[in-house]
């Protein structure tokens, strides 16, 4: 037993060390800087909570954090609606070409962020592919300017960028779903919607939550897409942090905003987890029922 514990410790120690050095240590440094302030373009290391007070009192920063959370939730919800049938099809309907479908799903991730963003600018632009097609078919008489540099365009591109993460999480959940349960539900007279509600959804919810969490976090941290697609609506809390660390040289305030966003995300995730665990579905999943 002692030898097994020692072996397990040796296996886990490198992972813990990497996480501590490359993830936790930078966050700790950022947290320390958030209590400092700038005096005459120099960082005065005199601890205070002034930066957090400034964030809490600023309507702009509060709105940017709320906007980031709202965008993350919206994209996660859209990706879940689109990804659910896609993951079900790949897991339960595709047999011979499953690896081909999964590879095709991941192909966009093999290209750089800028390539994907500018490809969508070509599609959504005033003289882009979509407007040209609509003009050619006579659906519209002049280009739709709102397709690009708008909140709608940002949501479309963000959903496209991070949909694979949702589909992969759901695909793994569907792969672990026993087909005999679906057959038993059909034999007992359950309809399509009853089967989805009482058999499929409870057993794929962990994959949905995992995919949604990945999409939510990645969307909030996205900097390029809102800047290059959103136009005047592309100002985000991440761009504000970037400006404070770069142009304004106010690292302490930027650190405080970053930590405020991180604390908001963690609080929302914990609250959502607690609320979900109190639902009938959540209790069923936790208990393994």
**Are 209 and 275 contacting, i.e. CB atoms less than 8 angstroms apart?**
no
Q: Is residue 36 part of a domain?
A: no
CB 207 within 8 Å of CB 201: no
DSSP, res 222: -
Query: Is 37 strand, coil or helix?
Result: strand
Q: Is 47 part of a structural domain of the chain?
A: no
Residue 179: pLDDT band (50, 70, 90) is: confident
Q: In this structure, what CATH number is given to the domain that contains residue 138?
A: 1.10.3720.10
**Residue 31 belongs to some domain of the structure:** no
> What confidence category does residue 33 fall into, taking pLDDT thresholds of 50, 70 and 90?
very high
pTM strictly above 0.85:
yes
Instruction: Tell me whether residue 40 is in a domain.
Output: no
Over residues 3-12, the mean pLDDT reads: 77
pLDDT computed for residue 147 by the predictor: 82
CA distances from 78 to 73, 88, 140, 156 (A): 9, 16, 26, 9
* Domain assignment of residue 27, yes or no: no
Overall average pLDDT of the 51-59 stretch: 95
Contacts with 111 (C-beta within 8 Å, 6 or more apart), sequence order: none
User: For residue 184, what pLDDT band results from cuts at 50, 70 and 90?
Assistant: confident
Q: Is residue 122 situated within a structural domain?
A: yes
The count of structural domains within the chain is 1
The answer to whether 211 and 80 have CB atoms below 8 angstroms apart is yes
Residue 9 belongs to a domain: no
Range of the domain at 128: 59-287
Q: Is residue 156 part of a domain?
A: yes
What number of CA atoms fall less than 13 Å from residue 38's CA on the CB side? 14
């Amino acid at each position: 037993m002692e030898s097994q514990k020692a072996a397990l410790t040796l296996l886990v120690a490198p992972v813990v060390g990497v996480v501590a050095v490359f993830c936790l240590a930078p966050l700790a440094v950022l947290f320390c800087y958030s209590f400092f302030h700038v005096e005459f373009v120099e960082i005065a290391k005199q601890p205070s909570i002034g930066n957090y007070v400034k964030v809490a009192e600023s309507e702009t920063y509060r709105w940017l954090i709320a906007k980031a959370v709202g965008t993350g939730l919206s994209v996660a919800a859209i990706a879940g609606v689109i990804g659910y049938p896609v993951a079900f099809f790949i897991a339960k309907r595709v047999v011979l070409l499953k690896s081909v479908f999964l590879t095709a799903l991941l192909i966009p991730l093999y290209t750089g962020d800028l390539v994907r963003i500018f490809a969508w600018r070509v599609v959504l632009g005033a003289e882009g592919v979509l407007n040209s097609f609509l003009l050619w078919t006579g659906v519209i008489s002049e280009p739709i300017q709102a397709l690009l540099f708008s909140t709608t365009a940002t949501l479309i591109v963000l959903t496209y960028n991070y949909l694979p993460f949702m589909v992969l999480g759901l695909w793994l959940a569907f792969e672990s779903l026993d087909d005999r349960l679906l057959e038993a539900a059909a034999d007992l007279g359950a309809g399509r919607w009853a089967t989805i509600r009482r058999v499929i959804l409870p057993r794929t919810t962990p994959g949905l939550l995992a995919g949604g969490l990945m999409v939510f976090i990645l969307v909030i941290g996205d900097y390029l897409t809102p800047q290059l697609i959103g136009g005047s609506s592309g100002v985000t809390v991440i761009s504000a942090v970037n400006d404070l660390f770069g142009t304004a040289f106010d690292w302490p305030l930027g650190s405080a905003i970053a930590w405020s966003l991180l604390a908001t995300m963690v609080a929302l995730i914990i609250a959502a987890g607690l609320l979900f665990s109190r639902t009938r579905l959540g209790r069923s999943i936790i208990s393994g029922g």
